[in-house]
Amino acid sequence: MLDLTRLRREAVEAPESGIVAVVNHARGKEGIIPMWAGEGDLSTPQFIADAAAESLRAGETFYTWQRGLPELREALANYSSRLYGQNLEPERFFVTGSGMHAIQVALMALAGTGDEVVFIGPVWPNFEAAAGLMGASRREVSLDFADGRWSLDLDKLKGAITDKTRVLFVNTPSNPTGWTASRETLSGILKIAREAGIVIIADEIYARFYYEGQRAPSFHDVMASHDAIIFVNSFSKNWAMTGWRIGWIEASPALGQVIENLIQYSNSGVAAFMQRGAIAALSRGEEFVENQVARAETARDIFCDILTATNKVELSPPDGAFYAFFKIDGVTDTRAAAFRIVDEAKVAIAPGTAFGPQGAPFLRACFHRRLDEVETAAHRLAEWIGFHV
Ligand SMILES: Cc1ncc(COP(=O)(O)O)c(C=O)c1O
């Protein structure tokens, strides 16, 4: 008989996403403004979709390069070199089947049973779950929250590292908190990782959604070329391609053969037509990215201003990413509150319980939507808060 007892313990124990529960509750209900997911409301720009369609029409339907089409690796190198003001060679770039797949490949390379991974929370839950699937044990270092702002205590981070720690996962700008590490903080983190001899997995997929400059501070700004850092990245957010499933890894070319093998033995490479779309995104998508970020910044201000005016919410506008992560006075069971907010305010947001124990008293709203919808949603929430709190 095939039942759960036949499966790996790690697979059976992998948690259900805490966001999905609200999605399931809201699905099919009329008039709901969806702010639960980590994506905007825009579909992929036509010129990107056209490039993919053209590739399919031209018969690019065969197995392809495990590390990615040379043209795409080159486009990634050009884009990243421009963004970080450095000369990054194409051999550093590896195309993956999403940001999530990039994380999986990095973890496959770094952490198994008996190893420990450290991450900074509250955190998007998939990293921790993926590390659990590898059999690695996980340790969370909590950001501190005061006056609506998040900060990292480097001593606390240092204290969490043991002789079993192999990996430190750093997501900045962060989903869900919006916490964005400064250059000084990144230098401090890097120093700790160097001293402990551990590898950093740097998830900077929200680097462009930064409201204090053209991009968020990056480990690129503070690292030396020999530093042990694997960057994971994605086409999902910058170019509105969440449904495509394509991302990339940037790492030392010395890891090339291993990364190629891990891609071979997981998804065996990303479809060529998707890679053609990705090339179009990198080479012609700059205006789209900039427009999206400008709209998200306005949306952030509209949403945060309306909620803050209730005087019953702890929140300050995040520097990066596109989430408001806030506490409502007196609301302790955020899972129950998220369900009620769907039914009574017709706004769907994610409960903080989905982002680890420290996230539990918070709610997360994705404000990366049309401005009139964001405004309506914020007023509905403010009214709900006024009535219930
Ligand atoms: C912090 C973070 N990293 C990685 C991802 C993965 O993105 P994708 O798998 O869509 O490329 C997400 C998606 O929400 C995210 O929020």
User: Poorest-confidence range of 24-28, 134-138, 162-166, 216-220?
Assistant: 24-28
User: What is the distance between the terminal CA atoms of the chain, rounded to a whole angstrom?
Assistant: 52
Range of the domain at 204: 46-285
Ligand 1 centroid from CA 99, angstroms: 5
Ligand 1 centroid from CA 9, angstroms: 25
CA 154 to chain CA mean position, Å: 22
Residue with tokens 């089947």: 97
Let me know if residue 382 belongs to a domain.
yes
Residue 388 pLDDT level (bands cut at 50, 70, 90): confident
What tens digit of pLDDT does each residue of 195-213 get? 999 999 999 999 999 999 9
Distance CA(279)–CA(300), nearest Å, equals: 30
Pair 98, 229 in one domain:
yes
Let me know if residue 92 belongs to a domain.
yes
* pLDDT score, position 16: 84
Q: Which atom of ligand 1 is nearest to the CA of 101?
A: 9
Ligand 1 centroid from CA 275, angstroms: 18
Ligand 1 centroid from CA 347, angstroms: 23
Number of compact structural domains in the chain: 2
Pocket of ligand 1 (CB under 6 A): 38, 98-100, 124, 171, 175, 203, 205, 234, 236, 242, 247
Pair 206, 222 in one domain:
yes
Ligand 1 centroid from CA 311, angstroms: 32
* pLDDT score, position 199: 98
Pair 137, 79 in one domain:
yes
CATH number at residue 326: 3.90.1150.10
Ligand 1 centroid from CA 290, angstroms: 19
Let me know if residue 1 belongs to a domain.
no
* pLDDT score, position 17: 81
Distance CA(204)–CA(103), nearest Å, equals: 12
Pair 257, 280 in one domain:
yes
Pair 279, 291 in one domain:
no
Distance CA(87)–CA(191), nearest Å, equals: 23
Residue 387 pLDDT level (bands cut at 50, 70, 90): confident
Give the pLDDT mean for 176-189. Answer: 97
SS3 of 207-245: the string is: CCCECCCCCCCCHHHCCCCCCCEEEEEECCCCCCCCCCC
What tens digit of pLDDT does each residue of 69-115 get? 999 999 999 999 999 999 999 999 999 999 999 999 999 999 999 99
* Domain final residue, candidates 263, 285, 307: 285
* pLDDT score, position 311: 95
Pair 230, 170 in one domain:
yes
Q: Which atom of ligand 1 is nearest to the CA of 247?
A: 11
Does 389 have pLDDT greater than 80?
no
* pLDDT score, position 377: 98
Ligand 1 centroid from CA 3, angstroms: 31
What tens digit of pLDDT does each residue of 302-357 get? 999 999 999 999 998 999 999 999 999 999 899 999 999 999 999 999 999 889 88
H or E element in which residue 146 lies: strand 144-146
Cβ count near 332 (within 10 Å): 10
* pLDDT score, position 374: 98
Let me know if residue 381 belongs to a domain.
yes
Residue 34 pLDDT level (bands cut at 50, 70, 90): very high
Q: Which atom of ligand 1 is nearest to the CA of 234?
A: 11
* Domain final residue, candidates 285, 317, 350: 285
Does 28 have pLDDT greater than 90?
no
Q: Which atom of ligand 1 is nearest to the CA of 174?
A: 1
* pLDDT score, position 25: 86
* Domain final residue, candidates 285, 300, 327: 285
Residue 369 pLDDT level (bands cut at 50, 70, 90): very high
Residue 21 pLDDT level (bands cut at 50, 70, 90): confident
Q: Which atom of ligand 1 is nearest to the CA of 206?
A: 1
Question: Which of 126, 232, 323 most suits a substitution to test ligand 1, by most atoms within 8 Å of the C-beta?
Answer: 126
Let me know if residue 2 belongs to a domain.
no
Ligand 1 centroid from CA 112, angstroms: 22
Pair 71, 154 in one domain:
yes
Signed CA dihedral, 261, 262, 265, 270: sign only: negative
Question: Which of 104, 203, 325 most suits a substitution to test ligand 1, by most atoms within 8 Å of the C-beta?
Answer: 203
Pair 163, 213 in one domain:
yes
Q: Count the helices and strands in the chain (H runs, E runs).
A: 13, 15
Nearest CA to ligand 1 atom 16: 175
Pair 308, 222 in one domain:
no
Pair 278, 223 in one domain:
yes
Cβ count near 172 (within 10 Å): 30
Let me know if residue 4 belongs to a domain.
no
Distance CA(219)–CA(199), nearest Å, equals: 13
Residue 26 pLDDT level (bands cut at 50, 70, 90): confident
Task: Determine the Cα angle at 9 with ends 248 and 267, to 5°.
Answer: 25
H or E element in which residue 150 lies: strand 149-151
Let me know if residue 3 belongs to a domain.
no
Pair 318, 273 in one domain:
no
CATH number at residue 191: 3.40.640.10
Nearest CA to ligand 1 atom 4: 99
